[in-house]
């Protein structure tokens, strides 16, 4: 372990010697850097990158509070301990309020090493907490991506079936042209149809790829209408294959929401995929009641503007006895080949990260409504 670098802001050589002697008596190994005024202090912070700062409270041409302010600006995570001979209760409260780590009186230097060790322990605890938070974040990202791949599997299967039709049409048109038996006008019309079918395939693939991309985007204002439109475009092929009617009821004056677009698309697609499964369970074949409704309207929560998106299906519903478990990680009522149980737990985590709420209400064999509430811009 490398020796720590201590920066001492102290104008008295006698006091500095006493402070360093106390540290040595406590068995503390360190590299000392001594400064006495503002210019030296600024250079030392920039050049030496100290691990700890020990500062007197009162100096002839400088003061400890100014030194603390500079430290919080230049090296905010570096512990700052006041070691002073003139230190009243008001000054102690003021320094701690401004971010000082601790303070020790020069006539009680026996408290210096314990204060230092407390600070070191806090640093280690903060590092451990940051590591734990980073590991938690990485696991959550892996779960989100795993769930996204699962959702893509359902969507890609439906898309492959849908893409087959325009591909067959392109092949037929190409065969007609290759015979060389048609006039230029007819060939141009067929070429135009080939272009249309190719563009249709391109849109389908681009929508799926956009959803599949692992996102690192920042939060930004996004139109709710655009979110729902993209969701419908991506899920359209699976809805068609299941012969489900999708109705939209979107308020014309909806505000935007601050979000990571790809993540909210993932939430909406999870809800739609679950709705499709519930409708297929209740209505294996076509039925006029095989419907899904997405509504979006402005709300007010706590005096602030919000947007509520409701995804409703008239499917098999959620039995009351499992309603409390549906947001649990890996909980699923589907077979192993139908899902991993990540969809709703991942969706709930995403919505919480956005400062929103995800809730539901359901009646068995009647309906299920999921409510996605997001703060408006």
User: What domains appear along the chain, each with residue ranges and CATH number?
Assistant: 4-107 (3.40.50.2300), 215-376 (3.30.565.10)
Tokens of 120: 């070191």
pLDDT digits 0-9 by tens, 101-116: 999 999 899 999 999 9
pLDDT: which is higher, 79 or 209 = 79
Q: 156-195 burial, b for 16+ CB within 10 Å, e for fewer?
A: bebbeebbeebeebbeebeeeeeeeeeeeeeeeebeeebe
Between CA 248 and CA 297 the distance in angstroms is 11
| Cα Rg of the chain (Å, integer) | 32
Q: In three state form, how does the secondary structure of 199-267 look?
A: HHHHHHHHHHHHHHCCCCCCCEEECHHHHHHHHHHHHHHHHHHCCCEEEEEECCCCCCEEECHHHHHHH
pLDDT: which is higher, 98 or 3 = 98
pLDDT classification of 147: cutoffs 50, 70, 90: low
Helix (H) or strand (E) holding 64, with range, is helix 64-74
Q: What is the pLDDT of residue 152?
A: 60
Mean pLDDT of 34-48: 95
SS3 133: helix
Between CA 18 and CA 58 the distance in angstroms is 17
Answer for the pair 145, 228: CB distance below 8 angstroms, yes or no.
no
pLDDT digits 0-9 by tens, 223-238: 999 999 988 887 887 8
Residue 22 has pLDDT above 50, yes or no: yes
Residue 243 has pLDDT above 90, yes or no: yes
pLDDT: which is higher, 32 or 238 = 32
Half-sphere exposure of 67 (CA within 13 A, CB side): 33
Q: What is the pLDDT of residue 336?
A: 45
SS3 160: helix
The mean of the pLDDT values for the chain is: 84
User: In which residue are the tokens 């067959």 written?
Assistant: 168
Answer for the pair 294, 310: CB distance below 8 angstroms, yes or no.
yes
Q: What is the pLDDT of residue 207?
A: 59
Indicate the pairing of strand 52-55 with strand 80-84.
Answer: parallel
pLDDT classification of 320: cutoffs 50, 70, 90: confident
Q: What is the DSSP letter of 3?
A: P
């Amino acid at each position: 372990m490398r020796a720590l670098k201590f920066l001492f802001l102290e104008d008295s050589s006698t006091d500095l010697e006493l402070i360093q002697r106390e540290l040595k008596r406590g068995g503390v190994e360190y590299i000392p850097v001594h400064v006495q005024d503002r210019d030296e202090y600024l250079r030392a912070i920039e050049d030496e990158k100290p691990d700890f700062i020990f500062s007197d409270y009162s100096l002839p041409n400088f003061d400890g509070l100014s030194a603390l302010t500079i430290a919080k600006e230049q090296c905010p995570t570096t512990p700052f301990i006041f070691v002073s001979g003139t230190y009243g209760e008001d000054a102690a409260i003021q320094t701690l309020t401004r971010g000082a780590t601790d303070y020790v009186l020069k006539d009680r230097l026996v408290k210096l090493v314990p204060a230092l060790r407390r600070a070191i322990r806090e640093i280690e605890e903060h590092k451990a907490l940051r590591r734990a938070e980073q590991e938690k974040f990485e696991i959550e990202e892996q779960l989100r991506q795993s769930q996204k791949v699962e959702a893509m599997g359902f969507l890609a299967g439906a898309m492959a079936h849908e893409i087959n039709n325009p591909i067959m049409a392109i092949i037929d048109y190409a065969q007609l042209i290759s015979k060389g038996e048609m006039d230029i006008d007819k060939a141009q019309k067929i070429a135009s149809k080939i272009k249309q079918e190719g563009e249709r395939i391109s849109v389908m693939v681009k929508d799926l790829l956009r959803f599949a991309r692992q996102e690192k985007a920042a939060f930004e204002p996004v139109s709710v209408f655009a979110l729902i439109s993209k969701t419908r475009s991506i899920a359209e092929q699976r809805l068609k294959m299941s012969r489900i009617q999708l109705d939209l009821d979107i308020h014309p004056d909806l505000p935007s929401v601050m979000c990571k677009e790809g993540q909210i698309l993932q939430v909406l697609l999870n809800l739609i995929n679950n709705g499709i499964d519930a409708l297929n369970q209740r209505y294996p074949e076509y039925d006029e009641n095989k419907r899904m409704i997405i509504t979006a309207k402005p709300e007010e929560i706590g005096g602030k503007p919000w947007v509520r998106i409701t995804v409703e299906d008239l499917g098999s519903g959620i039995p009351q006895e499992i309603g409390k478990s549906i947001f649990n990680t890996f909980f699923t009522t589907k077979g192993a080949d139908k899902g991993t149980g990540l969809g709703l737990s991942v969706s709930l985590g995403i919505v919480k990260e956005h400062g929103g709420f995800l809730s539901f209400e359901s009646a068995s064999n009647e309906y299920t409504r999921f409510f996605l509430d997001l703060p408006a811009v």
